[in-house]
Structure 1
Amino acid sequence: MSSVAVLVELVRSGTSGGHVKCWERLAESAARLPEHLPDGSRSGLDLTVYFLGDREHVEVLSPRVRLVMLRPVLGTAALMSADGSEDVTDLAPYHPRLATLLPRHDVWHVTHSFAYATTAVRLARRAARTPGPAPRLIASVHTDVPLLASVYARYLAGRWLPGDHPGPGAFLADRAETWLRRRRDRLLDSCERVLVPTPAGRAELGRVLGPHRVALLRRGVDHERFRPDPAARARLVREYGLPADRPLVLFAGRLDASKGVPLLTGSVRLLRERGRAVHLVMAGSGAEAGPVRQALGADVSLLGTLPQDRLAQVYAGCDIFAFPSRTETCGNVVAEAMASGLAVVLPEGARTTEWLLAPGRDGIVVRHDTPAAWADALAGLLDHPPLLAAVRQRAAATARGTHPTWDRVLAEDLLPVWLARPPSRDRAHPRAA
């Protein structure tokens, strides 16, 4: 039986982002695996997913699957913005407690590039120089951390240097993005296999690492949780006070510039100025919450960060999902919205458009990142209810027919990599992170 350690160096909570939710769902799928296969052999997987937490504890999902929370050594909580919407990670170069636990596992799967990952690479390099089997290092890419870091560097510069000081913010942002991208690429080069969520990402990284080292790790969808629900709109009106007499445009995610929130805000304001009856619903928190409220007033409802079950109800009660973000490696919220029967509106060229089977029919693609272009795209749906209904129906059909479940992702994308025969020692030797 192979013992796999997945290292998710983010704090786990009920309102965690997509990276944490992804591994929670995959762990749940692993817990459903039968102990024995039809031929009588054992299924071959023992899985531990390591997260960060405010205290060390273990949550057991099955005899062979568990979630472990470890305290950060150098947590980023002190660097959070006032609303605290950013994910908390660990910037320490080494995590001693994790170092004592990793040797019990055969496969070390890193998903980030900070404390957990650097600890794994250091230990793997040490193990490669000693007799005996070396651990297998696997990586997966979930978030464009360098790009997000540049956004937060600008925020922190504004926090530390109040007033109009664009120079320091831009300098910090550029340095942070460059340093983190180099750091990430060095770490990925230390790994035997690197998993990415989209074919476009696979081709891009394959040019750097070699196509034989890069494989797909798709995102799954919980089709039982995210599905159309005709009764959801009435619940939203009752519980959140949302208007019942106009279409609802939903955004879900962190409310900051990296997700395109200012662009969406400007487009909705332009629609209202044109006399369109539309209401924006935002599920999430972030630095743009105040500016959005100031710009749209009664035409926006800010629901804050929601747990998955509550978010599923919000999806099902809205009409359109608008997501201008270009920083996503995948954008699982798009798949959840489509499964819930929403018409999705996405930027052309973004990787989120790979969820669409027939762009223009099961989702709308916007060519230009301007408020006018986005307002026109939204108006094209709002002004033509039959078209809106058709796009919603096709989105749900695409989700049911082509978006994989988490069980399928585990079986087809992860198990073949985790349970594969390890390469020779010279090929597996990790480089410095």
Structure 2
Amino acid sequence: MLPALDGGGVERGTLEIAEALVRAGHRAIVISEGGRLVEELEALGAEHVTLPVGRKSLLTLRYIPTVRRLLRDEDVDILHLRSRLPAWIGYLAWRGMKPASRPRLVTTVHGAYTPGRYSAVMTKGERVIAVSDSIVRYIREHYPDVDPERIVRFYRGIDPADYYPAFRPDAAWRERFFAEHPTLADRWLITLPGRITQLKGHRDLLEIVAGLKARGVPVHALLAGGVHPRRQAYWQDIQARITELGLAEDITWLGPRRDLREILAISDVVLSLTRKPESFGRTVTEALALGRPVLGYDHGGVGEQLERVYPEGRVPPGDIEAAVDRLAQWWHDGVPSVTEGVPFTLDRMQDETLALYQSLAAERS
């Protein structure tokens, strides 16, 4: 269960586990409000039930009996909750069933949510998946009553068949992309992937670009991510700041992309600038697997990833000057190569998750 299937790391992870379940001969049923990824989900052989379980309204509680009925009628073995409001609906539906006949309950803590009773539902699983060591520490610090034996750490992962150092966009893609964006030719490209939200560090990016320009670096920044209707005011503030700093010719917003892999692959450096520690940076792993250098704030899951694969890319969180210094040095002296292989693979994540499901289902039977 999750709010919707419009895009993002949680949504992509849901599709990846659904794919693994179907491939192993199981049924995979996803409950969400729907979205552009439903077609892809169903093409994998999974099923989708459309319920607006992520709408922040008291009326959403009316779906508890519907979910409980679905769990009972479909004889569901595992209920996996991935987001707080849908988790409350799923948890209350599950708790109202007889213990002997209800599914086993799994939750995934995808981020360091604001601690409290509302977020505590993500620790209610009979097994609680943490997506990084930093999230394990977050759970233990803020929810000390959670038995450590219930917590398991599964990193998210990428498919090495899609993300590998020798990958290069084909000539047709390159020709089309640079024809659409002719100002990018002969520029040093830095890319900040992610939806346009206050958490992703777009304001920091603007200051970094201004700092690099002041040092003579022929930089051009790419913003790859969509803008939710509720974030329009923030996006307008970002655009105003771009104008104020005189960066209109140095930053390109690409919008939501289905060709993010290709964009990462042509980037000289990929950035991760979240002011709040992220639990795990999927695009960080994707970029590193493509052999692209990453500069990121050294906290949360991103700090873990960089420490293991590309420690040269770590800078103190929020330290604009350090980021500008490092990038300017890389432009002048050459960017250090990504030499370590990426250990965060899709197969591993799928295998670990299905093994957990199997062990819990076996206990249920």
Secondary structure of the corresponding residue to residue 127 of structure 1: coil
Question: In the TM superposition, what is the alpha-carbon distance from 1:419 to its structure 2 partner?
Answer: 1.4
Aligned match for 1:407, one of 330, 333, 347? 347
Distance 1:328-1:368 versus aligned 2 partners, 3 A rule: closer
Q: Which amino acid aligns with 2:118?
A: R
Aligned match for 1:210, one of 147, 150, 171? 147
Contact 2:128 2:151 in 1 (8 A): yes
Question: In the TM superposition, what is the alpha-carbon distance from 1:261 to its structure 2 partner?
Answer: 1.3
Question: In the TM superposition, what is the alpha-carbon distance from 1:368 to its structure 2 partner?
Answer: 4.8
Deviation digits for residues 312-362 of structure 1 (CA, Å, limit 9, x no counterpart): 111111110011113411110111111222110011223212223556x56
Count residues in correspondence.
Answer: 341
Contact 2:21 2:354 in 1 (8 A): no
What is the aligned partner in structure 1 of residue 20 from structure 2? Answer: 29
Secondary structure of the corresponding residue to residue 341 of structure 2: helix
Matched, 1:192 2:133: no
Task: Output aligned runs, 1:312-351, within 5 Å.
Answer: 312-325=261-274, 326-351=276-301
Aligned match for 1:300, one of 251, 265, 290? 251
Distance 1:107 1:206 in 2: 24
Distance 2:168 2:54 in 1: 44
Distance 1:91-1:329 versus aligned 2 partners, 3 A rule: farther
Deviation digits for residues 4-27 of structure 1 (CA, Å, limit 9, x no counterpart): xxx122x223xx111111111222
Distance 1:31 1:236 in 2: 36
Aligned match for 1:398, one of 325, 328, 341? 341
Distance 1:73-1:230 versus aligned 2 partners, 3 A rule: closer
Distance 1:367 1:184 in 2: 28
What is the aligned partner in structure 1 of residue 118 from structure 2? Answer: 183
What is the aligned partner in structure 2 of residue 311 from structure 1? Answer: 260
Aligned match for 2:318, one of 362, 365, 369? 369
Contact 2:33 2:54 in 1 (8 A): no
Q: Which amino acid aligns with 1:122?
A: L
What is the aligned partner in structure 2 of residue 417 from structure 1? Answer: 356
Matched, 1:67 2:23: no
Contact 1:356 1:398 in 2 (8 A): no
Q: Which amino acid aligns with 1:398?
A: G
Q: Which amino acid aligns with 1:72?
A: P
Aligned match for 1:50, one of 27, 31, 37? 31
Secondary structure of the corresponding residue to residue 97 of structure 2: helix
Secondary structure of the corresponding residue to residue 383 of structure 1: helix
Distance 1:73-1:337 versus aligned 2 partners, 3 A rule: closer
TM value normalised by structure 2: 0.83
Unaligned runs of 5+ in 1: 1-6, 36-44, 77-88, 147-177, 426-433
Contact 2:112 2:135 in 1 (8 A): no
Contact 1:94 1:118 in 2 (8 A): no
TM value normalised by structure 1: 0.71
Question: In the TM superposition, what is the alpha-carbon distance from 1:423 to its structure 2 partner?
Answer: 9.8
Q: Which amino acid aligns with 2:94?
A: A
Contact 2:5 2:34 in 1 (8 A): yes
Distance 1:189-1:73 versus aligned 2 partners, 3 A rule: closer
- Cα root mean square deviation, aligned: 2.9
Distance 1:247 1:107 in 2: 48
Contact 1:234 1:317 in 2 (8 A): no
What is the aligned partner in structure 2 of residue 250 from structure 1? Answer: 191
Q: Which amino acid aligns with 2:150?
A: R
Q: Which amino acid aligns with 1:99?
A: R
What is the aligned partner in structure 1 of residue 111 from structure 2? Answer: 143
Unaligned runs of 5+ in 2: 228-233
Secondary structure of the corresponding residue to residue 2 of structure 2: strand
Distance 1:329 1:236 in 2: 32
Q: Which amino acid aligns with 1:414?
A: T
Distance 1:126 1:358 in 2: 44
Distance 1:20-1:278 versus aligned 2 partners, 3 A rule: same
Identity of aligned residues (%): 23
Aligned match for 1:380, one of 321, 325, 329? 329
Distance 1:233 1:358 in 2: 32
Distance 2:159 2:303 in 1: 19
Q: Which amino acid aligns with 1:52?
A: E
Secondary structure of the corresponding residue to residue 138 of structure 1: strand
Deviation digits for residues 128-167 of structure 1 (CA, Å, limit 9, x no counterpart): 46xx433211100123454xxxxxxxxxxxxxxxxxxxxx
Distance 2:80 2:185 in 1: 47
Contact 2:133 2:301 in 1 (8 A): no
What is the aligned partner in structure 2 of residue 125 from structure 1? Answer: 95
Q: Which amino acid aligns with 1:109?
A: H
Contact 2:223 2:253 in 1 (8 A): yes
Q: Which amino acid aligns with 1:376?
A: D
Deviation digits for residues 217-256 of structure 1 (CA, Å, limit 9, x no counterpart): 2211022333431656555323333422121000000223
89-98 or 193-202, which moves further after superposition?
89-98
Matched, 1:241 2:182: yes
Distance 1:321 1:90 in 2: 41
Contact 2:132 2:153 in 1 (8 A): yes
Contact 1:220 1:409 in 2 (8 A): yes
